[in-house]
Amino acid sequence: MKEHTTSSADAPIICVVGARPNYMKVAPIMRAFAELRPALRTLLVHTGQHYDPLMKDRLFLDLELPEPDVNLAVGSGSHAVQTAEVMRRFEPVLEEHGAKAVLVAGDVNSTLACALVAAKRHVPVVHVEAGLRSYDRRMPEEINRVLTDQIADVLYTTERGARDNLLREGIAPERIEFVGNVMIDSLRANLVKATPPAQSLAAAGFDAGRIAGGHGLVTLHRPSNVDRPEILGPIIDALRRIGERLPLVIALHPRTRANLERFGMLDRIGAPGFLILPPQGYLEMLGLMAGARMVLTDSGGIQEETTALGVPCLTLRENTERPITIEQGTNTLVGIDPEAIVAAALAALDGGGKAGREPEYWDGRAARRIAAHLAAWLAARREGTSGI
């Protein structure tokens, strides 16, 4: 095995995407790299972790991401299989193309897998959205976050508290740079193009008049919430009770749909208060979120997007790695107790929900900060003055 990957002066920065939440983070970064003078050359690698057209192609179009230069087509599998398969297929790509750096985002299995391959080949790893911690190691994403940050050379953070988390884990302070939230760059750039909720419902065959008096939006996909019938069943029942007050639009993740089918629970989502949609495009989701009276979710990114949009968010989890959305934003942790979920939703409906303010640097310019910083970092490294 070769120890080093050749990294000639014109080698690209390899940008990795694998799963849905990566796309909205990497799209503005690639644009900002292209706009720099001189531009930073990139190579876009899709690992194929998400592969359904609804989980990939549609979002690429919406976000104006170029077709990936390389698709590793790993598909689904256990965590070990998926992570190992990404690593196995990514290494020859890195060897063939060389790279000045490998840029990974977020906390999905593809993030860790590609970071690990790069680090072992002595290629600098750049981690976007570093330092977020739920302190819950039962979450696969938490393992991915902690390990990726340990081997990253440049760590870009979205909120100031992330730096403290990283320092506690022994990360050298000069590696950490607070740049703000690139996902919010995508949100701000695309909000004017968001699809009106009525249009998304009509496209799925629903009478859009059903949400004329307002709607709530629901997303659920986290394994801890959807992989066991004794957890998922009561959550659905709580949602049905909320649906009696406010029609709930549910954008159903493939994992959740498959589980409902397996548990014989598909009929429970036929409740009159529910409007079940397939996974939505990015512009549809923006419209559905921006127009919602409240959002109920277990997603990480949606906690941030609702804060940026000023829409109350009830998070069906016991913890969050994004505390700023609670401290400054519109997010409330409600857990998964059905009574607590219903009580919080009705209180938000009656009281108008939590108001928040825009966190620092969630201003649509985070990707430009990354581009400027990384260009300088690479130049300093070439001259041997980066100190890393």
CB closer to ligand UD1, 262 vs 357: 262
Instruction: Give least dist CB 199 to ligand UD1, A.
Output: 23
Instruction: Give least dist CB 323 to ligand UD1, A.
Output: 18
Distance CA 294, CA 247 (A): 11
Instruction: Give least dist CB 300 to ligand UD1, A.
Output: 6
CB closer to ligand UD1, 255 vs 365: 255
Distance CA 68, CA 47 (A): 9
CB closer to ligand UD1, 20 vs 31: 20
Instruction: Give least dist CB 266 to ligand UD1, A.
Output: 16
Given the residues 79, 221, 253, 373, select the one marked as catalytic.
Answer: 221
Instruction: Give least dist CB 235 to ligand UD1, A.
Output: 16
Residue 72 identity: L
Site residues (vs ligand UD1, CB under 6 A): 19-21, 49-52, 55, 76, 107-109, 140-141, 221, 253-255, 258
Instruction: Give least dist CB 372 to ligand UD1, A.
Output: 29
Phi, psi of 277 (to 5 degrees): -115, 155
CB closer to ligand UD1, 52 vs 327: 52
Phi, psi of 173 (to 5 degrees): -60, -30
For residue 259, the tally of other CB atoms under 10 A from its CB is 21
Q: What do you get for the CA distance between the two ends of the chain, in Å?
A: 25
Distance CA 348, CA 31 (A): 38
CB closer to ligand UD1, 52 vs 358: 52
Are 315 and 332 in contact by the 8 Å Cβ rule? The answer is: yes
CB closer to ligand UD1, 7 vs 280: 280
Strand order in the sheet with 42-46: 70-71, 42-46, 13-17, 101-105, 125-128, 154-157, 176-178
Residue 275 backbone zone (phi > 0: left; psi -120 to 50: alpha; other: beta): beta
Are 229 and 258 in contact by the 8 Å Cβ rule? The answer is: no
Are 301 and 314 in contact by the 8 Å Cβ rule? The answer is: no
CB closer to ligand UD1, 108 vs 333: 108
- In sequence order, the 6+-apart residues with CB closer than 8 A to the CB of 212 are none
Residue 221: active-site member: yes
Instruction: Give least dist CB 376 to ligand UD1, A.
Output: 31
Instruction: Give least dist CB 129 to ligand UD1, A.
Output: 12
Q: Any bridge partners for residue 333, and if so which?
A: 315
Strand order in the sheet with 331-333: 274-277, 248-251, 216-219, 294-297, 313-315, 331-333
β-pairing, 248-251 vs 125-128, is: unpaired
Closest Cα partner for 16 from 152, 133, 138, 150?
152
CB closer to ligand UD1, 1 vs 80: 80
Are 131 and 163 in contact by the 8 Å Cβ rule? The answer is: yes
- What residues act catalytically? 221
